[in-house]
């Protein structure tokens, strides 16, 4: 059985690697010969997938931000089309990464109409899309959806799609891989009583430009008020290292940079995280660390979103979306200033009652994400779907 998996960006590579690992384990238990090939990053390759092209650094949010990736994405899509012409597959699995994935899926739907297509972790168009166009496009190419959020499952099931809710795979990652606070601090040589703030500015290149400077400004202010504070920053992609170091130098900040592989350790030992909006917010929540969440795009992109698409969401972070209430502060666009970030951070660090409420909210969030064993359930559903379609075609 040959399965093609397609995703992009840092978060997609992470989620994909968890699925690849579970698929290989399930195939071994079932004595099934399985070949996994596709688009992703180093994590998926390390998990055992043949990497056709690395898309971990190809991703953006916004109109102007995506322009630089048009040609690289087009080239990869041509490479995929060429590969699939001579290497037939039994199943296409899409993970998030809406624009590029829909292009590939549309091509395959037209060229090989009987090829089964499964979407695992649907793009969050079901949350933010101002029109039904994106939802319609997703449904047009999807035979089955494996949902990770209860709201995602309910939304697409209501639209008439074949949906299975498996839960969120980060539950497995945290359970199996995350160290405790004490172990994380020992590993990094940090005193158990020292105040630690972990900075998580970027998994996309655009976020270094729009989020890293105000985060550094906030860290500067926090250091002036908390002289003994320890700052950590895991670098999600090695390509970002030089730019991060240059920005830290401009702000005269002393920050311990860590390899991206140490992200869970950096979060687990923290008293506070200052972070971009994204999948990492759930990792932070599952490790019970208060967080200030930021979201910024280019002024032009935001102006277009507000004026033309009437962009006005109550929440952008998955931590708040899952429970549909603001359990953690979000600072969006103009609000994401150094002073606002620092003020929000101090409130979370120093207000004991607020931290107690956060702990309760995080527990409710954890319960809403399902039960551990998500990756095994997802892998089993993928293989059963592929096997069923093979038999029906036979």
Structure tokens at 112: 């090989």
Q: Return d(Cα 85, Cα 78) in angstroms, integer.
A: 11
pLDDT in the model for residue 364: 96
Q: Three-state SS for 175?
A: helix
In this prediction, what percent of the chain has a pLDDT beyond 70?
90
Q: Return d(Cα 359, Cα 355) in angstroms, integer.
A: 6
Instruction: Report the half-sphere exposure of 235 (CA within 13 A, side-chain side).
Output: 15
Which region among 44-58, 175-189, 302-316 has the lowest average model confidence (pLDDT)?
302-316
Q: Return d(Cα 42, Cα 49) in angstroms, integer.
A: 10
Distances (CA, A) of 378 to 65, 152, 203, 255: 32, 15, 25, 38
Q: Which of 46, 65, 53, 66 is nearest to 8 (CA)?
A: 53
| pLDDT per residue as tens digits for the range 322-376 | 998 999 999 998 899 999 999 999 999 999 999 999 999 999 999 999 999 999 9
Q: Cα torsion for 297, 362, 222, 316, to the nearest 10°?
A: 10
| pLDDT per residue as tens digits for the range 233-265 | 999 888 899 999 999 999 999 999 999 999 999
pLDDT in the model for residue 237: 86
The pLDDT of residue 180 is above 70: yes
pLDDT in the model for residue 394: 53
pLDDT in the model for residue 176: 93
Phi, psi of 6 (to 5 degrees): -125, 125
pTM, whole model, 2 decimals?
A: 0.89
Contact, 73 vs 61, CB < 8 A? no
> Degrees (nearest 5) of the Cα angle 109, 112, 113?
55
Averaged pLDDT of the chain: 90
The pLDDT of residue 203 is above 80: no
Radius of gyration of the chain (CA): 21
Instruction: Report the half-sphere exposure of 159 (CA within 13 A, side-chain side).
Output: 22
Q: Which of 324, 308, 292 is nearest to 211 (CA)?
A: 292
198-208 residues labelled b (16+ CB within 10 A) or e (exposed)? bbbbbbbbbbb
The pLDDT of residue 220 is above 80: yes
The pLDDT of residue 71 is above 80: no
The pLDDT of residue 58 is above 80: no
> Degrees (nearest 5) of the Cα angle 284, 364, 273?
20
Please, which pLDDT band fits residue 204 given cuts at 50, 70 and 90?
confident
pLDDT in the model for residue 130: 46
Please, which pLDDT band fits residue 61 given cuts at 50, 70 and 90?
low
């Amino acid at each position: 059985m040959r399965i093609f998996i397609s995703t992009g960006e840092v978060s997609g590579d992470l989620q994909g690697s968890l699925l690849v690992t579970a698929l290989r384990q399930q195939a071994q238990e079932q004595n099934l010969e399985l070949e996994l090939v596709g688009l992703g990053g180093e994590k998926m390759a390390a998990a055992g997938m043949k990497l056709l092209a690395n898309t971990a650094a190809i991703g953006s949010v916004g109109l102007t931000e995506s322009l630089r990736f048009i040609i690289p994405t087009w080239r990869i899509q041509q490479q995929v089309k060429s590969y699939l012409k001579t290497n037939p597959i039994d199943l296409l699995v899409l993970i998030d990464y809406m624009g590029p994935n829909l292009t590939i899926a549309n091509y395959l739907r037209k060229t090989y109409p009987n090829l089964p297509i499964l979407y695992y972790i649907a793009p969050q168009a079901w949350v933010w899309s101002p029109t039904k166009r994106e939802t319609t496009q997703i449904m047009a190419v999807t035979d089955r959806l494996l949902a990770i959020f209860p709201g995602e499952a309910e939304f697409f099931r209501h639209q008439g799609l074949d949906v299975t809710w498996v839960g969120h795979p980060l539950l497995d990652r945290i359970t199996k891989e995350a160290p405790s606070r004490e172990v994380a601090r020992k590993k990094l040589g940090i005193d158990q009583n020292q105040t630690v703030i972990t900075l998580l500015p970027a998994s996309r290149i655009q976020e270094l430009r729009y989020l890293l400077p105000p985060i550094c400004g906030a860290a500067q202010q926090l250091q002036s008020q908390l002289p003994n504070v320890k700052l950590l920053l895991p670098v999600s992609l090695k390509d970002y290292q030089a730019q991060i170091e240059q920005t830290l130098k401009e702000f005269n900040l002393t920050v311990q940079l860590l390899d991206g592989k140490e992200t869970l350790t950096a979060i687990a030992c923290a008293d506070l995280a200052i972070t971009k909006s994204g999948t990492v917010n759930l990792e932070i929540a599952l490790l019970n660390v208060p967080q200030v969440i930021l979201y910024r795009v280019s002024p032009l992109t935001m102006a277009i979103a507000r004026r033309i698409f009437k962009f006005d969401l109550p929440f952008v972070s998955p931590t708040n979306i899952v429970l549909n209430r603001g359990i953690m502060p979000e600072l969006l666009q103009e609000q994401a200033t150094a002073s606002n970030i620092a003020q929000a951070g101090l409130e979370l660090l120093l207000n004991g009652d607020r931290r107690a409420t956060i702990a309760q909210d995080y527990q409710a969030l954890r319960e809403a994400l399902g039960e551990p064993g998500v990756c095994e359930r997802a892998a089993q559903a993928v293989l059963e779907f592929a096997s069923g379609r093979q038999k029906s075609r036979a």
